[in-house]
Amino acid sequence: MSKLGNYIQEAYDELLHKVSWPSWDELQQTTVIVLVALGLVTGVVASMDFVSKAVLTFIYNILG
């Protein structure tokens, strides 16, 4: 068997028999955690953007 064929067969076997897949409940819980974390990070980045824009606009208006 070629190296590529052997690799594909081993990868298939590993995914089918050796990987521990999460249950449906675990998958839903971790998805919610990821979405909440994403929302928090998005809020922090948006807040930093808003504050930096306000500060720079204030400085430019003073120097303007």
Q: What is the pLDDT of residue 3?
A: 94
Is pLDDT above 80 for 1? no
pLDDT at 16: 93
CA-to-CA separations, 11 to 8, 21, 28, 55, in angstroms, rounded: 5, 15, 26, 54
- Residue 30 structure tokens: 């971790």
Contact 1, 9 (CB under 8 A): yes
Residue identified by tokens 């081993």 is: 10
Does the pLDDT at position 64 exceed 90? no
* Count of helix runs (H) and strand runs (E) in the chain: 2, 0
Q: What is the pLDDT of residues 15-55, one digit of tens each?
A: 999 999 999 999 999 999 999 999 999 999 999 999 999 99
